[in-house]
Amino acid sequence: MQRTTVQRLGLGLLLVVAASLTWNVTATLSAAPKKERPDSIYEDLELLTDAISIIQAEYVDETKSKALVYGALEGMLNHLDPNSSFLNPDAYKEMKLETEGEFGGLGIEIAVRDDLLTIIAPIDDTPAHKAGLKAGDKIVKINNELTRGVTLQEAVKKLRGKPGTQVAVTILRERERKLLDFTLTRDIIKIQSVRDTKILEDRIGYIRLASFQEHTPDDLEQALGRLTQEQMNSLILDLRNNPGGLLDVAVSVSEKFLEPKQLIVSTRGRRGNQNMEFRARGSSHHLGFPLVVLVNNGSASASEIVAGAVQDHRRGVLLGAKTFGKGSVQTVIPLRDGSALRLTTSLYYTPLGKSIHGEGLEPDVVVEEGSEPLAKEKKPISLPEEESPPSVSDPAILRAIDLLKGLKVYKTS
């Protein structure tokens, strides 16, 4: 039997649930390899049908068969790993909406790490970002209920709600060794992937990339075009607190800075059709300038693909802090009633064969955390932008500027 699937790798459910990166291509899955005799599988399935029959006959309240089947599917997928899950029809519709760049909620992406709900990154200009939630924060309570043992899908239901309503979260911030309480007002989340584009000093361009959505490659190309018109001769690409997104978008972003046919990322799974390579293609390649990519522990999945490709091919310098380490591939397989399975099917690897999952990427130049991206920085008083480049106080960006100046001097010497 064959199934048509929509695959997601790396990002996960924005606002609220992360799983790995997302894959927006269409693929066909062949029948799974047979590990057990068919009659053994049918015997095991009889246990499930027996249990459903007993529940419907004996449980104190009347039950619906579909609710019981959905519950069984949820338990089955949650048993596999924190990133696999069952999506009922409403959840599946929400997931598809998120990849288009607009959805409701708080504006955070979370994952399960050490059995705790962990914020990968808040999305710029969302309730979570404005309230001061940070990458690495542990969500220990939602509306005063402990979250230990809560699945990602359950967390989604608790954190989401009607825009304008409030949700209370208690955060463990390990660096400060204390619990922090926040009350956030839910809102419609609109994702702008390219958040800031400008020329800094010495003709150094700066682009803050906040997420990887369907429109990101076009937005990035336009930003690069504007900077080129302003005589940019080097670039800082800021991927800090970028939780990821679509795999094909990560490939499209990476190939802008690589030579044609260079390997960007590969995936490896149990089956031959899950072992894939993605290489730079197309004709729009920006190669003639030094590049620094900024990362931190909020850079995950698609961000790590771009950063890993740049680092492994020595196209640029990775600067900042170690990345999150989210490198598993989820395949979203639609079911006949509008629900879907979100199943971990493989891991992704950098061009040099490094698995990022659970490990993250080590930067070439380490700059300690402690400052927000440029878009949030308070700038010293300076002349208007048309008369003077914008002032910068972000330590990572200042270090990147110094590094690029040195690279340009070395290149011309």
From 301, 303, 339, 346, active-site residue? 301
- Told to judge if 326 belongs to the known catalytic residues of this protein, a careful annotator would answer yes
- Told to judge if 299 belongs to the known catalytic residues of this protein, a careful annotator would answer no
From 312, 328, 346, 394, active-site residue? 312
The Cα 186–Cα 164 span in angstroms is: 5
Query: Measured between alpha carbons, how far is residue 40 from residues 48, 197, 346 in Å?
Result: 13, 60, 27
112-150 per-residue burial string, b: 16 or more CB within 10 A, e: under 16: bbeebbbbbbbbbbbbbbebebbbbbbbbbbeeeebeeb
In this structure, is the dihedral angle defined by the CA atoms of residues 346, 347, 348 and 349, taken in order, positive or negative?
negative
The Cα 108–Cα 406 span in angstroms is: 37
Distant-in-sequence contacts of 284-289, Cβ < 8 A, 24+ apart: 284/221, 284/256, 285/255, 285/256, 285/257, 285/258, 285/259, 285/260, 286/224, 286/228, 286/235, 286/256, 286/257, 287/257, 287/258, 287/259, 287/315, 289/232, 289/233, 289/234, 289/235
- Told to judge if 394 belongs to the known catalytic residues of this protein, a careful annotator would answer no
Q: Which residue has the tokens 């949700």?
A: 167
Closest CA to 391 of 399, 376, 383: 383
From 85, 303, 326, 346, active-site residue? 326
3-state SS, residue 264 = strand
Q: Is 243:18 a contact under the CB 8 Å cutoff?
A: yes
The Cα 143–Cα 331 span in angstroms is: 32
Distance between alpha carbon 209 and the CA centroid of its chain, in Å? 12
Residues in the chain: 413
Q: Report the 10 Å Cβ neighbour count for 271.
A: 12
Q: What is the DSSP string of 311-374?
A: HHTTSSEEEES------EEEEEEE-TTS-EEEEEEEEEE-TT--B-TTT----SEE--S----G
In this structure, is the dihedral angle defined by the CA atoms of residues 363, 115, 249 and 225, taken in order, positive or negative?
negative
Q: Is 212:193 a contact under the CB 8 Å cutoff?
A: yes
| Residues taking part in catalysis | 301, 312, 326
